[in-house]
Structure 1
Amino acid sequence: MRSFSIALLILASNFVSADEKPVRKPENAVAALDVADGLEATLFAAEPLLLSPSNIDVDHLGRIWVCEVVNYRHFANKDNPAREAGDRILILEDTDGDGKADKETTFYQGRDIDSAHGVCVLGNRVIVSAGENVFNFYDDDGDLKADRKEVMFTGIKGVQHDHGIHSFTFGPDGRLYFNFGNNGNELHTPDGNLVVDVAGNEVIANRKPYQEGMAFRCELDGSKVDTLGWNFRNNWELCVDSFGAIWQSDNDDDGNKGVRINFVMEYGNYGYKDEFTGAGWREPRTGWEDTIPERHWHLNDPGVVPNLLQTGAGSPTGILIYEGNLLPKRFQNQLIHCDAGPNVVRSYAVSDDGAGYKAEINDILTGTRDQWFRPSDVCVEPDGSLIVADWYDPGVGGHRQGDIQRGRLFRVAPKGNTKYVSPKPDFSTVEGAAEALKSPNVATRYLAWQKLHAAGADAEAVLKKMFTDDNNPRFQARALWLLGQIDGKTQHYIDAAVKHGNSNIRIAGLRLARRTNTDVVGTVTKLVDDKSPQVRRECAVALRHIKSDRKAKLWTTLALQLPLPSHDRWYLEALGIGAHGDWDNCLETIWSEMRTRKSDRANIIVSDVVWRSRADESASRIAQHILHLAVGASLEESRPILLEYFRALDFQPKSNVATEVATLLKPGTLGRLRKDTAPLVIAESLQRLSSEDFASNPDAKAALQRALTDLKGTSQYIELVERFQLTDRYSDLLTLAQAHPNEQIGVEAIRALLRNKQWKLMTQALKGDDAQSAIATATVMGNSLDNAINGPLLAAVKDKALAIDVRRAAVRAASRVNGGAQKLAGLVEHKTLDPELTQTVAAALHAAPSRSTREMADRLFPLPAVKEGKPLPPISQLVSMKGDPVNGRLIFNTTGTCHKCHIVNKIGREFGPDLSEIGSKLSPQAMFESIIFPSAGISHNYEAYTLVTASGTTITGLITSETDDSISIKGDDALIRTFKLDEIDEKVKQTVSLMPADLQKVMTVQEIVDVVAYIQTLKKK
């Protein structure tokens, strides 16, 4: 699956000869895992019984259904032999109760389910998500073989793509829930027509209103599709708890430490792309967050639902809500989730937080000693134990499948609970079905639900008993969903639920009213002043599709209870969801109410609501807040809020915005602003004027000149120069980029020049007399990660008239983008690369962001062998290894011989650079490069020279002094020798470092890692 949309991960071992490592063998699989206290993992099944499980489900009898994926993206994994008969849906059973699978059945096999990413078992019906289709398979005769197949949905894009269609699950309300990632794009009915959802929108990613990944629910027959959330990246799987709350994970753009867990607040936008423009998170925007993981999801934008939790880098896969009681208490009623990238299965302990939630992480299984452990899914057995599917592969990422010969299933249960005995549910009576409804296993609950739903009024007594038993609110909620769908009883049980003492039951009652379309306005009216902000949140969401003259008043009542001083974002976004389609009435109603109340609290709430609003008058109201802030508070106090409100203008009609910012730019208005806030207000206002509006507005032109003076050297300055094409200021942007080559402001400046094709300006800088400015230019160009840098940089690489340090900087910069890396490799292959740059190119390609580039480096520049005689792992893998700084210090001063040339804290020999504070300067990756490729980049003043004297003596070392009549050189013994110039016949600058090129030969891989760990501790105090 290899991506599950996942970050490109370093392979944990070579693809070949995996069996040579004992840890790879199934009998050692459990020993390679760390298991949470109180739990025990056992191997339920392994190869050859199953291979590469991408997704699983567990039926009511405890049988495990597996998507066995061998033909995963075979067009991109041609090294793997194709299974011509196609991928399989397997059924694995433990027939003797010993906790191990001993029976395998192939339910279905075919090329039409190659790379299936979802299986959902509903009695004799099995839903399989594969490629562009969702299939219903039916086992009509009970022999565990598919007898019929029909298409449920089709036309899904991203065929054999991890970002396409994913698995289905059964909800407690009797509907199906599912999702697709941002390559799914659209959903079609079996006859090929686009699905039109219950809101009347076509399900297609065209921002009208949906885009990117989406989450859905539908009736059991696939009708009445409801688009529940959108603008995810690769939301792999979702789950639904007994109260009807929806949870899922989502993957970031690979490598940005932004993997997230979402509570799916219905009809929310989840911020992967800009809501209106579709711009990605890298596109600069006003007031964006300081950290990339937060910036990644547009969390500063009004109209984006917050995340429950961000878990860093990873490859999120299967998720469930554990509502059993077999596992220890800390895992009960919590989310359990697989993350294949960091080799872990986690539990998320979710707790209430205002109108939303927060969560803490508890690990369950971790592949500490075997990084091929790639948990792809987790399900609950009828007995409450967990089954974890292990895709088992050397890597996940880049749509690669490194191994097709392995796959495992683990059972996780309390210690000592190795017996695998599933309860035998009785669906023949309503009493038996009611008991089965309490199962932690979803497939069991589905069959129980079907029996009880069909029984109707005959099941009321037994369900009512469950509903009135307060010992387990989740069982109560399951009963409620069925009681509320008994003819003639719906309103009665909705009323009973909304009076309940448990807020989650009240929420379920409101969701039941919406499910059955039963007096939703009346139900909201009963709950509109509920003490729980989460109940009120659900009331706001419930108003979204309501057409009623009472809506604006109910919405205002809810809005004026916005929790303060937290400025609860969950609550605010729920208000935005509820006001959709009726913003004018809602905003006018709350504005009138605020004038009546005349309280500070009401004023604060309304200012928050205005920020989120999308009414015709919103732009005017937002501009009023901007003016109020800029007049009354210092820039230090008001800057973050000013930026928030300017960002809010970007979600209003452009004509309205143009009118308001033109007013802000009038001399009379600017004269009222504080001196320190005026430049920001001017810059942000100008950014929101079109070229036509600017050209016809003399006030704006005057304000621009003032802003350019006040804002020089800032992001706003860059934006103004670019927006208004101020060509005479482009040199300022280059100077700014050169001054900050490794900072955001420098990257913004160089990207503006690249967008405006300022090749001549950049080329002149690379060829200029000031080498340090040229190096800074190359560095910042590389940090732009824009393929447009290739031309100027490759020209610099080839230009032997340039200083070698400039050319080295150009190599490193060009290697950061694929096009540049390929051109550098071409120079090597065609033997046209200047030999002086060989090690620089080797180090740069080995460290390149692209895996394909690193693989090319392995071929062109095989890494040298270490002390054990084995080749070094890739630098990127060395960086990920854990080092022992204590041992590293010992190696540094003994085996590594580093102390013979370097001083650390006044100890050692002063030949090479003093390393006492090197940890503050170089990253681990740069340190590894320096050890393995010492000539890739030689520090200034540490270039080696060879002197040949008239007497024939040769001395190589570092020039320490050079006058009109003498020259001094320091040898590797740290002694300085001075010669008169007339004694020197020849002085030659060396192209290689004096640092030994084979230093790694005296150390093991771990010792090298330990040395770097030690060097990292040498930091400025």
Structure 2
Amino acid sequence: MPNNLLKLSTTPFQKAFFGMTILVVLLFTISCKKEVQEAPFSLGEKYYSDSTQLYLPDDLEATLWAESPQFFNPTNMDVDIKGRIWVTEALNYRLFRNDPEKFKHHEEGDRVVILEDTDGDGKANTSKVFVQDSDLTAPLGISVIGNKVIVSSGPSVIIYTDENGDDKPDNKEVFLTGFGGFDHDHGLHAVVAGPDGKYYFNAGNAGPHIVTDKSGWTLRSGSLYNGGSPHMRDNEPGMVSDDGKMWVGGIALRINPDGTGMKVLGHNFRNSYELALDSYGNLWQNDNDDDGNKGVRVSWLMEGGNMGYFNPDGSRKWQADRRPGQSTVRAHWHQDDPGVIPMGDSTGAGSPTGLTFYESDLMGEKYRGTLLAGEAGRNVILAYKPETMGAGFNLKRHNLITSLREEEVEEAKSRATDEDKSKWFRPSDVVVGTDGAIYVADWYDGMVGGHRMIDSTGYGRIYRITPKGKNLPKPEIDLSTTQGQIQALLNPAVNVRNAGFALLAEKGEEALDAVKEILKDENPYHKARAIWLLANMGSEGMAAVESQLDADNPNIRLTAFRALRQTASDFLPYARQLSTDSSPAVRREVAVALRDMPQNDVEEILVALASQHEGEDRYYVEALGLAMDGKEEAIFPVLQQELGADPLTWKPGYADLVWRLHPNQAIESLKERALSPELSAAERQQAIAALGFIHDQEAVNAMQEIAASELMGAKDRALWWLRYRRNNEWNAFAMEIPELEANISPQIQEDMLELKSILENNTVPKQEKIKAAKTMAADRIGGQMLLALAEKEALSEDLMAEVSGVIFQNPEQATRVLAGDYFTHPSKPAPLSVSEITALEGDPAKGKLVYQGKCATCHRIGDEGRNIGPDLSMIGAKLDQEGLLDAITNPSAGVAFGYEMWLITLKDGTVASGFLQADGPIVVLEGMQNEVYNIKAEDIASRERFSRSIMPEPVELDMNEADVAHLTAYLTELNSE
């Protein structure tokens, strides 16, 4: 798509951040009418004028619609029926890491602000505070649905009701509470009204989420995740909800507007910032990866689907489950495990934010059906036109709006200075207005993500995107008339549609003919909205929906089935009718609808659906797996009789299905396939993998037989599965395999244990204790033991002082850094001068040498370096020079999620440290040398998670100002995959 450079000269209320200093100046020049309810800033803060470059298609243009001080730090937006933009602010964002003395914040709590363009000139000219509440700490979601303003601010979904329309809340209700992730990016996100009139929302993996709806149904969702905030509760893998299912990690939910009927729609993602629904009822989301793994994704969410971040019970991270030869991205999302939905589009490195689905024709027909996804880490709004592919979707990506045009990346590298703010465009949300325009909120900062900020003024702005040269007037909608309600239903703004939906559904037969007319609309999304509504309008409305089961467009047939499934007393006749539909997507929808139905009622339909699977469609086989969830053992003999009596002649589609279901009854058939030289290596390995997911002694026995064979490829793969499963699901089963090397050797630690016993013995003379402590402080294992003792306050002041003189020379870098939490460095050099660094001109070639000498021991760039800390191959695309400088000079200000260091002490006194990869009967740590420690949970005496980053400050690596300037210049250039 061709691009057009748009240069926006902003008003003097724009911020900049030069080095680490805020100039003490008061300068305000107001060039347009702005109605603000508070003084813009206190003395000591200033905005600087600069210009912003945005690149977008030739047929579109952007204008600056609003900016600070009309609002600050925008996290999320919504649009009301008057066309006003509502914004949640996050000035009080992570103040435990961001100095409240330095950063603008609100002592009274964060706010919800209403912005409006009252004179139709394309810019907001009024700003008012709807609510400021101490219960709002960095809220991440807002929805305006009728007179209800729904704000998501962990741990609660809060509803403020404006009964009299004066733009002030008259009532406040805690709608739902118990979500994890207070003041945390991985917490609770925005609510959105679906085309069915129900509410949809999600929460990230900063659980546990223990939430009871208003009918008494309780969600319990936990996982291994436990980092990023001092407010985090202990997460717990393996919890079971009231539906009897185990939901883990990030979670997507639906609930009735009255707070009853909460239902899980998908789980096991890391942190989807927001859900978007199209009018067919499809759910779209994005998801962030573990920093540095280039696995950010934009996905379609199949109902009930497992998105694959953790293992099924949430006790293991992807690193603990990675198989030989797996790419990082496939391992990261468990893409080769049965029961996991395809990841969608892998977008590389980044920080995904808000998203929406554009269904209007007002921007031009080519934009109808476009998924828009904010990507703050890469300074871009991504665009997709999802294409049906089998039972799923193909997502082809292009940049719609960005501050860095692709062909100018090299130029952007060369001009990345303190004065250049091209990477400060951080789109936090994107919404569609009632006028059909696209509105983009810009957080505007040199940093992005759940760590810290650079901008201290809380500056933010909103852009309005419209067709070039075309006026998009704000419509006047009269909800007192049927026509006005129809107009609301067909409006481009997603939550505005709900007002029309609710009022028309309430009218019932009175509005039936007007709604049926929409079925003639050329816009298929409008037709879909009518279908959802008609299903709620009595028997005649239901009949109209039934007629759409034969529509030419499979999306309409699919929508009709979804609507009837929700409203009909018995939807199985419709399921039978569509079980042989020509569209795999329609059949997929039938399959997921059968998940919790008794087998006797749906067996015929299940067999019909399974018989049409020919292979090469992961979405379809996963839908079949969901349909047969809990029925695997009972349905397998039926499937075997109909589709696969001879294991060696299974068709690809059936082999895929058995791999997905992996019932115990299939063990012998899978073993036969694994040992058959008549099958291809891929077919044999698929059978071996299926056995690896069967938790039964017979599966272990079969795997041992395969490992004892001489069949090329099968033996080694089976041996890997035995060794791998020994440390998790097969731990309790009997097996005989070559022993793994001991991960923690008491022999290696024996000397240190003897010295530790001296420290703990009150009868030992002081000088002998000092000698033992100094010896331990100079040893890799001994240093870790001293950290454990210091954490328990088990060392006297004298010993602490003596250890301080030695431990900062410990051979283990992590020990040297973490010692700073307990011991006093006797001669730590003064911090580097940030102002001096910024005054220097860095040389990227010299910076590469600095990386190789100082950073490659922990960080990888391309094929160089080690995978201990985050991969830096794309860091220049995420942070500008100032952000990089802050990350290098203040490493502990923001520890990357998942890179928190743990220290485990066993009951026998031995210790191990590393990154926690699994927490179950076997606890898995990955150590600083990439060694893996497999520790029985029953052997652990204590465990400690450190909040300090193990990345040293530059002075601790003997780096000077010039080294940091060169390194920053080099890292700024790293923009390619």
Q: Given the two structures, how large is their TM-score scaled by the length of structure 2?
A: 0.70
C-alpha separation between the residues in 2 aligned to 1:869 and 1:423? 52
Contact 2:77 / 2:86 at 8 angstroms: preserved in 1? yes
Residue 250 of structure 1: CA displacement? 1.3
Residue 208 of structure 1: CA displacement? 4.2
Residue 456 of structure 1: CA displacement? 0.7
1:257/1:998 CA distance change after superposition, 3 Å: closer
Higher RCO (CA 8 Å, separation ≥ 6 residues): 2
1:29/1:353 CA distance change after superposition, 3 Å: farther
1:128/1:683 CA distance change after superposition, 3 Å: closer
Contact 1:127 / 1:168 at 8 angstroms: preserved in 2? yes
Residue 527 of structure 1: CA displacement? 1.1
Residue 207 of structure 1: CA displacement? 9.6
C-alpha separation between the residues in 2 aligned to 1:456 and 1:152? 28
Quote the residue 1:321 is aligned against: 357
Contact 1:98 / 1:419 at 8 angstroms: preserved in 2? no
One-letter amino acid matched to 1:282 = Q
User: Secondary structure at 1:363's aligned position in 2?
Assistant: strand
| 1:523 corresponds to 2:584 | no
For each residue in 1:98-157, what CA deviation from the matched residue of structure 2 results, as whole angstroms up to 9, or x when unmatched? 111111121111101121111100111111111211111111111111111111101222
Contact 2:725 / 2:731 at 8 angstroms: preserved in 1? no
Residue 94 of structure 1: CA displacement? 0.9
| 1:485 corresponds to 2:536 | yes
C-alpha separation between the residues in 2 aligned to 1:580 and 1:60? 42
C-alpha separation between the residues in 1 aligned to 2:403 and 2:442? 11
1:683/1:169 CA distance change after superposition, 3 Å: closer
Quote the residue 1:721 is aligned against: 739
| 1:14 corresponds to 2:15 | no
Worse-superposed segment, 363-372 or 508-517: 363-372
Worse-superposed segment, 415-424 or 11-20: 11-20
- Find the partner of 2:87 among 66, 86, 93: 66
| 1:753 corresponds to 2:770 | no
Query: Which structure has the greater CA radius of gyration?
Result: 1
Contact 2:592 / 2:627 at 8 angstroms: preserved in 1? yes
Quote the residue 1:171 is aligned against: 194
Contact 2:309 / 2:318 at 8 angstroms: preserved in 1? yes
Contact 1:54 / 1:68 at 8 angstroms: preserved in 2? yes
Residue 664 of structure 1: CA displacement? 4.5
Q: Given the two structures, how large is their TM-score scaled by the length of structure 1?
A: 0.68
Residue 270 of structure 1: CA displacement? 1.1
1:414/1:229 CA distance change after superposition, 3 Å: same
C-alpha separation between the residues in 1 aligned to 2:971 and 2:186? 41
C-alpha separation between the residues in 2 aligned to 1:651 and 1:277? 15
- Find the partner of 1:661 among 694, 700, 703: 703
C-alpha separation between the residues in 2 aligned to 1:515 and 1:457? 19
Within 5 Å, which residues of 2 pair with 1:436-515? 436-469=488-521, 471-489=522-540, 491-515=542-566
Contact 1:131 / 1:164 at 8 angstroms: preserved in 2? yes
- Find the partner of 1:246 among 273, 278, 283: 283
1:417/1:601 CA distance change after superposition, 3 Å: farther
User: Secondary structure at 1:632's aligned position in 2?
Assistant: coil
- Find the partner of 2:486 among 430, 434, 437: 434
C-alpha separation between the residues in 1 aligned to 2:733 and 2:192? 58
1:467/1:695 CA distance change after superposition, 3 Å: closer
- Find the partner of 1:333 among 369, 387, 390: 369
Within 5 Å, which residues of 2 pair with 1:615-626? 615-626=663-674
Residue 412 of structure 1: CA displacement? 3.1
C-alpha separation between the residues in 2 aligned to 1:419 and 1:694? 67
Contact 2:674 / 2:714 at 8 angstroms: preserved in 1? no
Quote the residue 1:351 is aligned against: 387
User: Secondary structure at 1:282's aligned position in 2?
Assistant: helix
C-alpha separation between the residues in 2 aligned to 1:536 and 1:692? 34
Worse-superposed segment, 255-264 or 500-509: 255-264
- Find the partner of 1:646 among 678, 688, 697: 688
Gaps of 5+ in 2: 1-15, 28-44, 222-237, 405-420, 753-779, 788-807, 850-860, 874-880, 889-957
Quote the residue 1:847 is aligned against: none
Contact 2:704 / 2:719 at 8 angstroms: preserved in 1? no
C-alpha separation between the residues in 2 aligned to 1:271 and 1:674? 31
Contact 1:94 / 1:420 at 8 angstroms: preserved in 2? no
Residue 478 of structure 1: CA displacement? 0.5
Contact 2:19 / 2:835 at 8 angstroms: preserved in 1? no
Contact 1:607 / 1:625 at 8 angstroms: preserved in 2? no
Quote the residue 2:628 is aligned against: 579
For each residue in 1:639-673, what CA deviation from the matched residue of structure 2 results, as whole angstroms up to 9, or x when unmatched? x55444333334323334234335556xxxx56x5
Residue 31 of structure 1: CA displacement? 2.7
- Find the partner of 2:317 among 269, 277, 280: 280
Quote the residue 1:860 is aligned against: 831
| 1:632 corresponds to 2:653 | no
1:15/1:494 CA distance change after superposition, 3 Å: farther
C-alpha separation between the residues in 2 aligned to 1:535 and 1:521? 14
Residue 762 of structure 1: CA displacement? 13
Within 5 Å, which residues of 2 pair with 1:781-792? 791=784
Within 5 Å, which residues of 2 pair with 1:785-934? 791=784, 814-815=812-813, 817=814, 819-823=815-819, 829-831=825-827, 860-862=831-833, 865=836, 869-870=839-840
Quote the residue 2:791 is aligned against: none
For each residue in 1:294-346, what CA deviation from the matched residue of structure 2 results, as whole angstroms up to 9, or x when unmatched? 21111111000111111111111101111122334443211111122222221
- Find the partner of 1:613 among 661, 665, 669: 661
C-alpha separation between the residues in 1 aligned to 2:534 and 2:215? 37
Quote the residue 1:297 is aligned against: 333
C-alpha separation between the residues in 1 aligned to 2:242 and 2:60? 43
C-alpha separation between the residues in 1 aligned to 2:320 and 2:311? 9
Residue 681 of structure 1: CA displacement? 3.5
Return the structure number with greater helix share.
1
1:18/1:36 CA distance change after superposition, 3 Å: farther
Residue 603 of structure 1: CA displacement? 2.6
| 1:547 corresponds to 2:595 | no
- Find the partner of 2:618 among 546, 569, 572: 569
Give the number of aligned pairs: 770
Residue 450 of structure 1: CA displacement? 1.4
One-letter amino acid matched to 2:527 = Q
1:585/1:791 CA distance change after superposition, 3 Å: closer
Contact 1:327 / 1:413 at 8 angstroms: preserved in 2? no
Quote the residue 1:365 is aligned against: 401
User: Secondary structure at 2:590's aligned position in 1?
Assistant: helix
Contact 1:349 / 1:359 at 8 angstroms: preserved in 2? yes
C-alpha separation between the residues in 1 aligned to 2:739 and 2:970? 48
Residue 366 of structure 1: CA displacement? 2.0
Residue 46 of structure 1: CA displacement? 1.1
- Find the partner of 1:228 among 250, 265, 269: 265
For each residue in 1:209-267, what CA deviation from the matched residue of structure 2 results, as whole angstroms up to 9, or x when unmatched? 11111101111112101100111111210011000001111111222211111211001
C-alpha separation between the residues in 2 aligned to 1:197 and 1:691? 22
- Find the partner of 1:123 among 126, 146, 155: 146
User: Secondary structure at 1:178's aligned position in 2?
Assistant: strand
